[in-house]
Amino acid sequence: MTQPAQINRDRPQMLTIFETAGEAAYAVADHVLATVKSNPNAILGLATGQTPRQVYARLIEAVRDGAVTFRQATTFNLDEYCGLPPSHPDSFAAFMRRELFDGADFTSDRVNLIAGDATDYHAEADRYADLLHSSDGIDLQLLGLGTNGHIGFNEPGSEQDSRLRVVNLSAETIEANRPSLLELATVPPHAITMGISDILNSREIIMLATGASKAQAVCRSLEGPASADCPASYLSRHPNVHWYLDIGAASSLRANGRRKI
């Protein structure tokens, strides 16, 4: 079921391919639950977007069933749009409340979010970087994948040593994220994101990618060279990355595509 993706890369990355997006999400949720059960003080790096929604729904179920508690866990979100207060429905802060925090039992002062309505975005990026770097470091970072290979909002062109910062979103990301908007007509053009180096500092990384729209980015990340053209390809420089894919997202992989698990 699980196998290393062996594809001309610096280090093998673990790869599991599931029949459906739901199965992949459940497996990721089980991975997160196992981490928090073995280390209730775990520091979790969290992503927004459509991909992790089923993961979060499963985590909420686990809390409601009494199978886990997140009270002692700490979270750091990856990114936030510039210009949106946490109360705005299209902010990532609001997404996290809707999709996870309101239904689970996190302790509010252990939940770390970027303030999208800061008056000085660069100062806010510095504040969040200080907070992250003064913590014990992320134990488990959950990632989704942009169709252009971005991780967090590290768009193509982002280097491996990039740090937490203010970024411009690419036209492709602005278009890709538009259908997810609840109130805004267009995606904000700027964001604050953890950098690739911040992501690679995590002790363990989970990448969840589902759907055929991610197939090319998955293929470039796992089979292409590590390069700023496809930021997720830098995950090959990390010693402990696990890719969870459904068949659609795996469909362009030379080595593993269309394999039933």
Distance CA 139, CA 5 (A): 22
Instruction: Write down the least CB distance from residue 231 to ligand F6R, Å.
Output: 9
Among residues 48 and 158, whose Cβ is nearest to ligand F6R?
A: 48
Identified binder of ligand F6R from the candidate list 116, 149, 152, 231, rule CB under 6 A: 152
Catalytic residue, from 150, 154, 177, 246: name it: 150
Distance CA 208, CA 185 (A): 27
- The count of residues interacting with ligand F6R (CB under 6 A) is 14
The two tokens of residue 240 are: 């402990």
Residues 6+ apart with CB under 8 A from 96: 46, 48, 77, 111, 113
Among residues 146 and 188, whose Cβ is nearest to ligand F6R?
A: 146
Tell me how far CA of residue 231 lies from CA of 27, 45, 59, 98, 165, in angstroms: 24, 18, 28, 28, 15
Sign of CA dihedral 130, 45, 121, 155: positive
Instruction: Write down the least CB distance from residue 199 to ligand F6R, Å.
Output: 10
Nearest to 46 by CA among 258, 202, 230: 202
Residues in the chain: 261
SS3 101: helix
Nearest to 245 by CA among 7, 10, 28: 28
One character per residue 25-64, x = contact with ligand F6R (rule: CB under 6 A): ----------------------xxxxx-------------
Residue 233 contacts residue 221 (beta carbons within 8 Å): yes
Does the protein bind ligand F6R through residue 151 (CB under 6 A)? yes
Region binding ligand F6R by CB under 6 A among candidate stretches 68-76, 151-159, 196-204, 250-258: 151-159
Among residues 139 and 155, whose Cβ is nearest to ligand F6R?
A: 155
172 catalytic? Reply is no
One character per residue 60-89, x = contact with ligand F6R (rule: CB under 6 A): ------------------xx----------
Nearest to 22 by CA among 222, 176, 205, 248: 248
80 catalytic? Reply is no
Does the protein bind ligand F6R through residue 146 (CB under 6 A)? yes
Identified binder of ligand F6R from the candidate list 144, 149, 231, 248, rule CB under 6 A: 144
Among residues 70 and 153, whose Cβ is nearest to ligand F6R?
A: 153
155 catalytic? Reply is yes
Nearest to 176 by CA among 146, 145, 215: 146
Among residues 50 and 69, whose Cβ is nearest to ligand F6R?
A: 50
Catalytic residue, from 23, 77, 79, 204: name it: 79
175 catalytic? Reply is no
* Residue numbers at the binding site for ligand F6R (CB under 6 A): 47-51, 78-79, 144-146, 150-153
Name the residues annotated as catalytic. 79, 148, 150, 155
